[in-house]
Structure 1
Amino acid sequence: MTPELEFHIPADDVPERVTLFADVILPLPLPKLFTYRIPLEMSDDVLVGARVLVQFGTKKVLSCVVARVHEQAPTDYQAKYILEVIDEKPVVTGPQLKLFSWIAEYYMCTLGEVINAALPAALKLSSESKIQLHPQFSEETNEWPLTAHEEKILFALRQKPHLTFTEAGQLLQLTSFHKIIKSLLLKEVIIIYEEIAEKYAPKVVKKVRLAPAFTTDEATLEELFNQLATKAKQLDVLLKYVQLNPLLQDMALNEHGVEKNLLTSNPHLSLSAINTLIKNGVLEQFDVVVSRFPVAEGRGPYLASELSPDQASARDEVLDHFNSKDTVLLHGITGSGKTEVYIDLIQKAVDAGGQVLYLLPEIALTAQIVTRLKRVFQDRLGVYHSKFSDNERVEVWNGILSGRFQVIVGVRSSVFLPFHSLSLLVVDEEHEPSYKQHEPAPRYNAREVALMMAHFHGAKTLLGSATPSVETYYHCQTGRWGLVNLHVRYGEAVLPEIELVDIRRESLRKNMLSHFSQKLVHDMEDTLHRKEQVILFQNRRGYSPFIDCNDCAWIPKCRNCAVSLSYHKFSNELRCHYCGYHERKPNECPACGSTMLKTVGFGTEKIEDELKLLLPEARIQRMDLDTTKRKNSHQQIIEDFEQQRTNILVGTQMVTKGLDFEHVSLVGILSADSIIHFPDYRAHERAYQLFVQVSGRAGRKGKPGKVIIQTANPNQTIFERVIENNYLGLYEQEIAERQKFRYPPFVRIIKITVKHPEAKPCEAAAIALAKDLTDRLGRTGILGPEPPHIFKIRNLFLQEVHVKLDRDGGRLRFSKNQIQEAVFHLLQSKDFKNLRVAIDVDPA
């Protein structure tokens, strides 16, 4: 288990210099902290939460975060010296360090894995020792004979300027080669050096300005124009410069200059003329460091919308609950205006001087929310998600530390940010499984981490959803958390009409047009005729889930995973959605040579393709993982739909989550049954959430909305709940079943996945693990082992063991210790080489 951390800085009033030590968190999956000695000259500079450079092992120099400064030398090894202090001020705050320690303990991983996930890549420095020829080495004057291995190193260093230790080992094909390196050092044939560069690079803009000699007064400037009268191209550059920078109004403006690219990108100006002016000393070029998030010119008044009476009442109820509870759920139906309530509460927190974290489950949502929040909070608002570059993420990180950003909108990784005065966390769409991190460790749930984050900061947490998770609603029903209901749509809007279409019956009647019922096609035509918009939801990307051969039934499989390859028509590829393997679609069956290859099933790409044939006049866009890979692609797709440059939006779960479109009056769910019938105890809960959420995109601005759900079995109870918007009925059914069969929230579940390149050792290791856990914890809560539905991923076979644990805190810690010991013993066993084990606490 990761040790409990104590965070303190030694007192300043020590009477004499004492030797200090620092416990540091290395960004590696190591189960403990390492202690390094602080050189006397650095005693005042090494701060808790700051980064320092240390040597780890013989190969690497790493940056790490100081967790503790103290006077106790380690007893079991000689502490190495810290090499260098990177930060003058901490980049990780005290509450962050406490939170990271809790994450490591609760999610059963190491602090190194947490810090590796938390810090932006540009704040993580590492290096491997490199060797190069000694500058004074000469074969003629060398007195020492060289061995064959040493000669090999010498030859390699004549071909390239340096070798890393890893390259030297590969060259010699030896596992233990350090004696050879040491011998070459003693013979002064080589030297060893480290090369570390700060990865974060500030954004630099090249600017130009007139040389000071030409800006003393207007007469001097006029004389310069006269001198350039015969040089038309240079004169054009000068005129453009004065136009962009009105010196005649104020000569002092010249000091700021203009961005060089404003001149070089102008097709009417000559690049050579610009460079000539610089060369001749008329213009001078200089660099300016600028922010990647420019500050708005002056702050105007906040522009928050006025709340309706229902919203204002909900806001007041939330504040009342905050007097006695730290966590409140806002259960508001789709379109009820929860976001405006959030904004009002965020504004109150900001006005009181606090910082706010607004969590969203998907990057797709940030575009709309940021636009709304920018109008209110302007340059106090920061955004943080994975589509940002490393340098952009570091600027947000530093902006929070400096206090520039008071409000942060971000996805799950935002819980790692360095807040220092956090007073409110808003977790929107709190039920979303996207908040769960699956690979690699830490396998955290951002909603749960947000609750602990609020605890360490003394902040309040507001959870929001139209379809709360069963666990969240249970905590409200038992009085642990506050509950506020908002069950009226904002303005004139009403909930959409929901209609079920029996596609089995429609198929028998020949009323299906490919994957669309005639009813859906007719309603889409009618909607487009009214100049309104359509959203179609299909929970599978690609063109088709797989292809097969009509003659021999051959189906292409992934070479790395136990899944069929999905067909993507646009790239004419077969792709694995688990490991990324892809290959060209064959023209004939490799098994029998037949050319009768057909697609089976349908994904978003096929829906888009067929819509273009059915509705040729419609402008159609697709939003799924394939179309949103570029940095701003989410934002562009949403903007096109908002501006009605798109009539129909086809998408996966991305289109279900909190998007607000004024002109959407029809939503179609194309394959409802595949969502309901899924081997998971949460299947009905998730299906209800998806259906209600995507239905909620229709009829949000006063226009009547309609939802068409295509299903082969319209008599299922879940559809009745969706049509009636009966969340409470779903909750009561689900909570009774979970209590009966011992599922969350009544127990905690830990999933242990055993991975191995071969099937039999994988199964044997899982059986051994299950037996050990049974001996330690008893048989009652141990389920498995058994292979998961997809039993091979990335060339590794999988077996799963599930452990159900009572929610008793003391017992939970003991049980987790026992699990970690059992896993450790399994990994140490000589019977199971190349074994990997992943522990997932509260699996989604």
Structure 2
Amino acid sequence: MTEDIFSVETTYFADVILPVPIPRMFTYRVPRHFVADIKIGARVIVQFGRNRVVTAVVGKIHTKPPEKYQAKYILELLDTDPLITEAQLWLFEWIAEYYMCCIGEVMNVAVPSGLKVSSQSRMQLNPDFDHPELLEEKEIEFIEILKVHNSLTYDDAIKFIGEKNINPLIKSLISKHAIIMYEEVKEKYKPKVAKKIRLKRGYEGSEEVLNLIDSLTKSPKQQTIILEYLRYVPINELAEKNNLGIDKSALKQGEISDSALSTLIEKGILEQFEVIVSRFGDDTPEEPLKITLTDAQQAASDDIIQNFAEKDIVLLHGITGSGKTEIYIDLIQKVLDGGSQVLYLLPEIALTTQIVVRLKRVFGDKMGVYHSKFSDNERVEVWRGIVDGRYQFVVGVRSAIFLPMDNLGLVIIDEEHETSYKQFDPAPRYHARDVGIMLGLKQGAKILLGSATPSIESYYQAKTGRYGLVTLNQRFGEAQLPDIQLVDLKAERKAKNMKNDFSSILFNQIHQNLQNKEQTIIFQNRRGYSPYLNCQECSWVSECQQCAVSLTFHLQSKELRCHYCGHKEEVPKVCPVCGSGKIRTIGFGTEKLEDDLKIMFPTARTQRMDLDTTRTKNAYQNIISEFEQGGTDILVGTQMISKGLDFDQVSLVGIFDADRMIHFPDFRASERAFQMLTQVSGRAGRRAKKGLVMIQTNNTQQSLLQKVVTNDYIGYYNDEILEREGYMYPPFARIISITIKHEEEEKAEKAAHWLANKLLEKLGKARVLGPEKALIERIRNKFLFDILIKLEKDKLNIKAAKSFLREKIDELHQTKEHKDVDVVVDVDAV
């Protein structure tokens, strides 16, 4: 905001987005000294409530004071150049409206916590206090502590006083005006600083530095440091490079004396200084990798560009291993050469890890990477890098859609069918694929969706002509699709051929694979050792006390764990009900399969990749790198190993529990099962040798499995789309799931019926299903009831229906009986 537009005599107000779940912006008064600099999209610090200080984002600037309350002043302006673009603000509002949440909830998820301000109550002496006679002994002791430390946080005061409840003491000192409480605000983001060393001016000439070395003959440790420095900055390059210095850490890699280094700095021979550096280092190769497309890939790329001439959105249906990534790279390069930005979304950090290495070799430091395993400061650095123009191309997981890109030319959404793109908790419960499409359309960008197993909705849009459709049916190079074999578990059990949970057929093939020095992937979409413990005497089952689910047994940590609320407890030595010691594990997860494999194949190098083994920042990368380099023979994993990973030496994939995936009580279960089985199968035989996939099942005649064996996506789609149309499910209707929660089951059920009846009055029985008990009827000590709403796309005003739904939920909360129930709305639930 500039002086020629705004008069400093006029009183200005700013409507700001607060990071709290309230359905509107709040108005604050702009202090006169901020008027010239404040802009829409800038961050400000404001007081919200009595004692809370928060970071807000300016959404609007005007001269109209609020009618219902006295506007407080903005406390601090954090940005003179906005960190939130107008395109982002539009997106925040669209997400809040479409997904039926508050704009503050969107802002809270979108903006990295490193860009928010933390507030912490502190206390200090009141400089005007001059009545020490009013103080009691303990108060005098505390005042003396404050004199030493100038100020203390609440937690610090507890430590110094040695009591947990210090409220009476603090309250008394405040009432006597002896101390002042205040909010210390500080920005969380701190740039990374590198400490460097260089020769002081006066020693930069060849003669001067040689004289210096001679003068240090009697101080050999100091002389060694100067000689070590000259190894990095040679004498003939001193004048040119000395000013840049070298990293202090590099200088200290040898046997360098800390005290000698300190002495040289004190003498004024060396000087230490600091520079701000990137957290991502400079690992760009000297010669970037050049991508050459095969004839099939080139034809697909040309076809995509041709489709983009008429359509904004194109679906690339390419079988597993067809080389979709190379096509993406070709298109990204063209867009970057044209001066526009590119956003490349991936569903999983595991997938990001492998693809980033490849992309870095092509795009180097033009590319930013953004995902949840990054620290706050790393995410802020990428954010600022986009604002500053350093990154024109970003690859990331779903949260990357919130980055401040305002010149997009292309949005790529790889593995677009993945449910990982959907945010479940907390709000906003957005789908990154759909938000990415809206973001691209708003900025006039082209959107490319890619998958070997497209979602039913996306393929329908392509078949009906709204999206362009490009098909790639040929694997890259000499690779062929794997042979897929269904293993009959009933027959194996009848013949007593099972080895633990492995059929003899799969066991023998793993053994053969190890002898051939080839790699194996074992897929089981359930982590932990065993789904539950069971007493053989009284049939007791280990269950969570807060959720209506069994506790999963984890062998490595020797605990029972709830995968819904996180509750943990020790494994009982005897049955807690009957006292019997006959407790056994039932079923199997990835941890048990890993354990069994280590026993059956003791010389094999077996590794596991699931949520439990990938909690640390670099765990994904380490596991994948070790497998890529041949350091692992057998990799056991959950769905994270199914998503686009590319390994040269994998010739065998074994799949467990296919039946459980297919028969899950959900209208999308068969779609997810087909996608998962096809994607996991696609990890086998990605180079010259043909791979083998073995799917263990109790019913080898299932239609879905037969289509997986023949890689018949079209046949599967044709069957599924008829069923969806008959029952009015997506893509023919929008689904809104409503979950009502309360600690008392009766209250939750009554509230659910009240809301369902109100919705039925206007929407009718065909559109309102339920309420029913949720599939998991109790989580975190709250009972859950579900209502499912189906809204036909062609016959109904969806926006008006959402407005009606919001109105009825507000009405529910205004009733005395139901005001304390929680209502969770999930638009386009998956």
Report the TM-score range of the alignment, normalised by the length of the smaller protein: over 0.9
Q: Tell me which residue corresponds to 1:659.
A: 645
Where in structure 2 are the equivalents of 1:517-596 lying within 5 Å?
Answer: 517-596=503-582
**2:189 matched to 1:209?**
no
- Contact 1:498 / 1:723 at 8 angstroms: preserved in 2? yes
Q: Tell me which residue corresponds to 2:106.
A: 114
Spell out, residue by residue over 1:243-278, the C-alpha distance to the aligned partner (whole angstroms, 9 max, x if none).
122234434422222211223343x22223222333
Q: CA deviation at 1:186?
A: 8.9
Q: Tell me which residue corresponds to 1:799.
A: 785
- Contact 2:728 / 2:792 at 8 angstroms: preserved in 1? no
Q: 1:334 aligns with which of 313, 320, 332?
A: 320
Where in structure 2 are the equivalents of 1:187-202 lying within 5 Å?
Answer: 188-202=177-191
Spell out, residue by residue over 1:25-74, the C-alpha distance to the aligned partner (whole angstroms, 9 max, x if none).
01111111111122222212111111111222221222111111122222
**2:776 matched to 1:790?**
yes
Residues in 2 aligned to 1:84 and 1:118: alpha-carbon distance in whole angstroms: 21
Residues in 1 aligned to 2:246 and 2:470: alpha-carbon distance in whole angstroms: 53
- Give secondary structure in 2 for the equivalent of 1:666: strand
Residues in 2 aligned to 1:841 and 1:432: alpha-carbon distance in whole angstroms: 17
- Give secondary structure in 2 for the equivalent of 1:629: coil
Residues in 1 aligned to 2:338 and 2:700: alpha-carbon distance in whole angstroms: 52
- Contact 2:119 / 2:183 at 8 angstroms: preserved in 1? yes
- Contact 1:132 / 1:163 at 8 angstroms: preserved in 2? no
- Give secondary structure in 1 for the equivalent of 2:184: coil
Q: Structure 1 vs Structure 2: percent identity of aligned residues?
A: 52
TM-score, normalization by structure 2: 0.94
Where in structure 2 are the equivalents of 1:10-409 lying within 5 Å?
Answer: 12-13=4-5, 17-127=9-119, 130=122, 132-140=124-132, 188-215=177-204, 217-266=205-254, 268-295=255-282, 303-409=289-395
Cα pair distance change 1:774/1:152, threshold 3 Å:
farther
Q: Tell me which residue corresponds to 1:6.
A: none
Q: CA deviation at 1:536?
A: 0.9
Residues in 2 aligned to 1:842 and 1:51: alpha-carbon distance in whole angstroms: 32
Cα pair distance change 1:162/1:722, threshold 3 Å:
same
**2:654 matched to 1:672?**
no
Q: CA deviation at 1:598?
A: 1.0
Q: Tell me which residue corresponds to 2:501.
A: 515
- Contact 2:415 / 2:643 at 8 angstroms: preserved in 1? yes
Instruction: Tell me the number of residue pairs that the alignment of Structure 1 and Structure 2 aligns.
Output: 820
Residues in 1 aligned to 2:138 and 2:440: alpha-carbon distance in whole angstroms: 58
Q: CA deviation at 1:192?
A: 4.0
Cα pair distance change 1:349/1:669, threshold 3 Å:
same
- Contact 1:753 / 1:801 at 8 angstroms: preserved in 2? yes
Residues in 2 aligned to 1:346 and 1:501: alpha-carbon distance in whole angstroms: 43
Q: 2:705 aligns with which of 699, 719, 728?
A: 719
Kindly provide the amino acid, as one letter, of the partner of residue 281 in structure 2. P
- Contact 1:125 / 1:196 at 8 angstroms: preserved in 2? yes
- Give secondary structure in 2 for the equivalent of 1:212: coil
Q: CA deviation at 1:788?
A: 1.2
Residues in 1 aligned to 2:120 and 2:786: alpha-carbon distance in whole angstroms: 37
Q: Tell me which residue corresponds to 2:623.
A: 637
Spell out, residue by residue over 1:737-794, the C-alpha distance to the aligned partner (whole angstroms, 9 max, x if none).
1111111111111111111122221112211221222234333311111111211112
Deviates more, 1:792-801 or 1:443-452: 792-801
Q: Tell me which residue corresponds to 1:452.
A: 438
- Give secondary structure in 1 for the equivalent of 2:661: helix
Q: CA deviation at 1:562?
A: 1.4
- Contact 1:130 / 1:163 at 8 angstroms: preserved in 2? yes
- Contact 2:2 / 2:37 at 8 angstroms: preserved in 1? no
- Give secondary structure in 2 for the equivalent of 1:772: helix
Spell out, residue by residue over 1:531-569, the C-alpha distance to the aligned partner (whole angstroms, 9 max, x if none).
211111011111111111222222221222111111111
- Contact 2:95 / 2:428 at 8 angstroms: preserved in 1? yes
Q: Tell me which residue corresponds to 2:583.
A: 597
Q: Tell me which residue corresponds to 1:5.
A: none
Kindly provide the amino acid, as one letter, of the partner of residue 310 in structure 2. S
Kindly provide the amino acid, as one letter, of the partner of residue 75 in structure 1. E
Residues in 2 aligned to 1:732 and 1:810: alpha-carbon distance in whole angstroms: 26
Q: CA deviation at 1:409?
A: 0.7
Deviates more, 1:833-842 or 1:630-639: 833-842
Kindly provide the amino acid, as one letter, of the partner of residue 184 in structure 2. E
- Contact 2:123 / 2:153 at 8 angstroms: preserved in 1? yes
Kindly provide the amino acid, as one letter, of the partner of residue 115 in structure 1. M
Residues in 2 aligned to 1:759 and 1:735: alpha-carbon distance in whole angstroms: 37
Q: Tell me which residue corresponds to 1:177.
A: none
Q: Tell me which residue corresponds to 1:3.
A: none
- Give secondary structure in 1 for the equivalent of 2:211: helix
- Contact 1:60 / 1:126 at 8 angstroms: preserved in 2? no
- Contact 2:553 / 2:559 at 8 angstroms: preserved in 1? yes
Residues in 2 aligned to 1:833 and 1:487: alpha-carbon distance in whole angstroms: 56
Deviates more, 1:380-389 or 1:568-577: 568-577
Q: Tell me which residue corresponds to 1:741.
A: 727
Residues in 2 aligned to 1:295 and 1:421: alpha-carbon distance in whole angstroms: 26
Unaligned runs of 5+ in 2: 159-163
Residues in 1 aligned to 2:764 and 2:167: alpha-carbon distance in whole angstroms: 48
- Give secondary structure in 2 for the equivalent of 1:767: helix
Q: CA deviation at 1:172?
A: 9.9
- Contact 2:118 / 2:187 at 8 angstroms: preserved in 1? no
TM-score, normalization by structure 1: 0.93
Q: CA deviation at 1:578?
A: 1.2
Residues in 1 aligned to 2:266 and 2:651: alpha-carbon distance in whole angstroms: 63
Residues in 2 aligned to 1:809 and 1:306: alpha-carbon distance in whole angstroms: 48
Cα pair distance change 1:247/1:834, threshold 3 Å:
farther
Residues in 2 aligned to 1:301 and 1:273: alpha-carbon distance in whole angstroms: 40
Cα pair distance change 1:477/1:251, threshold 3 Å:
same
Residues in 1 aligned to 2:5 and 2:752: alpha-carbon distance in whole angstroms: 56
Q: CA deviation at 1:152?
A: 11
Kindly provide the amino acid, as one letter, of the partner of residue 439 in structure 1. D
**2:714 matched to 1:728?**
yes
Q: CA deviation at 1:236?
A: 2.4
Spell out, residue by residue over 1:315-374, the C-alpha distance to the aligned partner (whole angstroms, 9 max, x if none).
111111111111000001111111111111111111101111110000000122111111
Residues in 1 aligned to 2:552 and 2:808: alpha-carbon distance in whole angstroms: 38
- Contact 1:754 / 1:765 at 8 angstroms: preserved in 2? yes
Cα pair distance change 1:812/1:152, threshold 3 Å:
farther
Deviates more, 1:563-572 or 1:114-123: 563-572
Residues in 1 aligned to 2:829 and 2:641: alpha-carbon distance in whole angstroms: 24
Q: Tell me which residue corresponds to 2:161.
A: none
Kindly provide the amino acid, as one letter, of the partner of residue 57 in structure 2. V
- Give secondary structure in 2 for the equivalent of 1:789: strand
- Give secondary structure in 2 for the equivalent of 1:250: helix
Residues in 1 aligned to 2:343 and 2:249: alpha-carbon distance in whole angstroms: 36
Kindly provide the amino acid, as one letter, of the partner of residue 100 in structure 1. F
Q: 1:619 aligns with which of 587, 605, 609?
A: 605
Residues in 1 aligned to 2:120 and 2:52: alpha-carbon distance in whole angstroms: 4
- Give secondary structure in 1 for the equivalent of 2:22: coil
